[in-house]
Structure 1
Amino acid sequence: MKLNELSDNSGASKNRMRVGRGIGSGKGKTCGRGVKGQKARTGVAVKGFEGGQMPLHRRLPKRGFHNPFPTDYNEVNLGRIQQAVEAGKLDLAAPVTVEALIAAGVVAKARDGVKILGNGKLEAKLAFEVAAASKGAVAAIEAAGGTVKLLSGAVEEPSA
């Protein structure tokens, strides 16, 4: 086989549509753009324009609030931490911090810290040093004999 004998499989590539080459081509004269007017020209973007009527996105009232600086926690359940303890990836003597959870493979990266949620059962006595924790998680940790030290704020309600 020679280089000049190489070709695509049949149907693998289509020829581009040549517009404006006569009415017999099927895409002649207006080239599939309809007739005259703004939209027949190139470089036109009239999204949301309603012919001078006030557009829908301007008639409706503004709603809500977008926080440009949200806190993005790694949410970790107690059951996942218990799995790491049983697998021998978390040290019972050392405090459970973001760095310890990353080393254990429980979370991938630090983000804005770790929030402990109360789903699952914790049997190990652990000392947590985390950014946030739900009330149920704090109660379960203290019931197992552990402690929770919050690095940033108060105990929060569990998120939905």
Structure 2
Amino acid sequence: MQLKDLRPAEGSKKNRKRIGRGNSSGHGTTAGRGTKGQLSRSGGGKGAGFEGGQQPLAMRLPKLPGFKNRNRVEYAPVNVARLDGLFNDGDTVTVEALVEKGVIKRTYELVKVLGDGELTKKLTVSVDKVSASAKAKIEAAGGKVEAPC
């Protein structure tokens, strides 16, 4: 046997149907589309999502209310009770210190200290934002709040 003798298996190869090439081809005139009707026309047929005249799913679903503010600034919340448990008396609370203790994941996250819980230690807090109630609790415990708050 030689390379020139190789042939595909009998019946495995079929010629493609050449439609619209005259009546003698067996697929002329209507080109296999049948006579008349929407599907026989060029560009005929329904669009994607057409449900036979029933209201399409995309139109039955409700629209989303409101809008999303693209300028919204998200802060990672940290309560004073959490600071009380993690830091020692006289420590400085910074974003780097919070990342080190595992409170937040990354140093570029914005942090806001909130006033939930009690604070018994004297801490110096230097984060992005501090709520009014948290500031009052920090100062009542003898600590202070530094900029950039």
* Higher-Rg member (1/2): 2
TM-fit CA distance, 1:68: 1.5
In 2 relative to 1, CA 48–136 (structure 1 residues): closer, same or farther, beyond 3 Å? farther
> Quick one: which amino acid aligns to residue 81 of structure 1?
L
Matched with 2:49 is 46
Query: Are 2:146 and 1:146 equivalent residues in the alignment?
Result: no
- Contact 1:117 / 1:133 at 8 angstroms: preserved in 2? yes
What is the distance in 2 between the residues matched to 1:92 and 1:130? Answer: 16
Provide Cα deviations, 1:115-159, integer angstroms capped at 9, x if missing partner: 00111111111111111111110110010011112425xxxxxxx
Provide Cα deviations, 1:31-76, integer angstroms capped at 9, x if missing partner: xxxxx974xxxxx6428997589x456x96x853311132121100
- Contact 1:129 / 1:151 at 8 angstroms: preserved in 2? yes
Gaps of 5+ in 2: 1-38, 40-44
TM-score with structure 1 setting the length: 0.52
SS at match of 1:76: strand
TM-fit CA distance, 1:112: 3.6
TM-fit CA distance, 1:79: 0.7
Of residues 64, 68, 71 in structure 2, which corresponds to 1:69? 71
In 2 relative to 1, CA 77–68 (structure 1 residues): closer, same or farther, beyond 3 Å? same
Of residues 89, 92, 110 in structure 1, which corresponds to 2:90? 92
- Contact 1:81 / 1:106 at 8 angstroms: preserved in 2? no
Matched with 1:130 is 127
Matched with 2:115 is 118
SS at match of 1:136: helix
In 2 relative to 1, CA 50–134 (structure 1 residues): closer, same or farther, beyond 3 Å? farther
> Quick one: which amino acid aligns to residue 138 of structure 1?
K
Matched with 1:102 is 99
What is the distance in 1 between the residues matched to 2:52 and 2:147? Answer: 52
SS at match of 1:130: coil
SS at match of 2:146: strand
Percent identity over the alignment is: 36
SS at match of 1:116: strand
In 2 relative to 1, CA 140–49 (structure 1 residues): closer, same or farther, beyond 3 Å? farther
